[in-house]
Amino acid sequence: MTLHLEIISPEKVVFSENVDEVIVPTTTGQITVLPQHVALFTQITPGELIIKRAGKEDYFAVTGGFLEVAKNKTTILADFAVHSHEIDAVKAEEAKKRAEKLLAEKISQEDVAVARSELVKSLLELKVAKRRKHHLTTP
Amino acid sequence: MASIHILRRRILAAQNVSKTTRAMQMIAASKLKKAQAATLATRPYVEKLSTVTKRVATRAPQEFTHPYLTPKNANGKKLLVLFAPDKGLCGGLITNLLREFLRYTREEKGLRVVTVGKKVESFVITLRSEVIASFVFGTTTPSFNMVLPITKMINDEYLLGNVASVHILATHFTSIFSQKPIMTTLLPISLPLPQEEQEKSEGGQYLFEPNVTELLSPLLNHYLEMVVYQYLLESFVSEQAARMVAMQNATSNAKDVIEDLRLEYNKTRQARITNEILDISGADALRGVQNE
Q: How far is A107 from chain B (nearest CA, A)?
A: 17
Identify the CA nearest to B205 among candidates A51, A94, A71.
A71
pLDDT surpasses 60 at A139? no
B205 CB near a chain A CB, below 8 Å?
Answer: yes
pLDDT (0 to 100) of residue B243: 93
Q: How far is B83 from chain A (nearest CA, A)?
A: 21
Helix (H, G, I), strand (E, B) or coil at A113: helix
Please list the residues that pair with A50 across neighbouring strands.
A23, A59
Residues of chain A with CATH 2.60.15.10: 3-84
This model of the complex carries an ipTM of 0.77
HSE on the CB side for A32, CA within 13 Å? 4
Contact B45 A71 (CB under 8 A): no
* Helix pair B212-291, B93-107: axis angle to 10 deg: 130
* Mean pLDDT score of chain A: 83
Q: Which amino acid is at A35?
A: P
Identify the CA nearest to B93 among candidates B237, B229, B265.
B237
pLDDT (0 to 100) of residue B73: 60
Q: Which residue blocks in B129-207 are alpha helix, DSSP H?
A: 147-159, 194-203
pLDDT surpasses 60 at A111? yes
pLDDT (0 to 100) of residue B206: 75
Contact A70 B203 (CB under 8 A): yes
Angstrom distances, CA of residue B86 to CA of B78, B83, B89, B116, B130? 24, 10, 10, 8, 20
Contact B205 A38 (CB under 8 A): yes
The CATH number assigned to the domain with range A87-137 reads: 1.20.5
pLDDT (0 to 100) of residue A138: 46
Beta carbons within 8 Å of A35's beta carbon, 6+ residues apart: A1, A2, A3, A20, A72
Q: How far is B237 from chain A (nearest CA, A)?
A: 16
Strands (E), chain B: 78-83, 111-116, 130-135, 165-175, 178-187, 207-209
Helix (H, G, I), strand (E, B) or coil at B223: helix
- Domains with residue ranges and CATH for chain B: 25-241 (3.40.1380.10)
Which chain A residues touch B218 with a CB distance below 8 Å? 43
pLDDT (0 to 100) of residue A79: 86
What is the mean pLDDT of the segment spanning A56-67? Answer: 89
Contact A39 B206 (CB under 8 A): yes
B-chain residue closest to A80, CA distance? B45
B208 CB near a chain A CB, below 8 Å?
Answer: yes
Contact B226 A10 (CB under 8 A): yes
pLDDT surpasses 70 at A62? yes
Strands B178-187 and A73-78, by their bridges, are unpaired
Whole-angstrom Cα distance, residue A25 to residue A3?
A: 18
> Which helix (DSSP H) or strand (DSSP E) does residue A15 occupy?
strand A13-19
Contact B52 A66 (CB under 8 A): yes
The CATH number assigned to the domain with range A3-84 reads: 2.60.15.10
Residues of chain A with CATH 1.20.5: 87-137
Chosen for mutation from A43, A75, A111, A117 (greatest number of chain B CBs closer than 10 Å) is A43
Residue B187: what are its φ and ψ, rounded to 5°?
Answer: -135, 145
Q: How far is A38 from chain B (nearest CA, A)?
A: 7
Q: List the single residue in B205, B209, B226 with the smallest CB-CB distance to A42.
A: B209
pLDDT (0 to 100) of residue B232: 92
B261 CB near a chain A CB, below 8 Å?
Answer: no
B56 CB near a chain A CB, below 8 Å?
Answer: yes
Q: Which residue blocks in chain A are alpha helix, DSSP H?
A: 89-104, 109-137
Q: How far is A54 from chain B (nearest CA, A)?
A: 27
As a whole-number percent, the residues of chain A with pLDDT over 70 amount to 94
Q: How far is B209 from chain A (nearest CA, A)?
A: 5
Contact A40 B206 (CB under 8 A): yes
B43 CB near a chain A CB, below 8 Å?
Answer: no
Whole-angstrom Cα distance, residue B101 to residue B170?
A: 10
Residue A22 near residue A81, CB atoms below 8 Å: no
Contact B52 A71 (CB under 8 A): no
Residue scoring higher pLDDT (A102 or B256): B256
Residue A35 near residue A19, CB atoms below 8 Å: no
pLDDT (0 to 100) of residue B201: 47
Residue B163 near residue B130, CB atoms below 8 Å: no
Positions of chain B with pLDDT lower than 70, given as ranges: 1-2, 62, 71-74, 192-205, 292
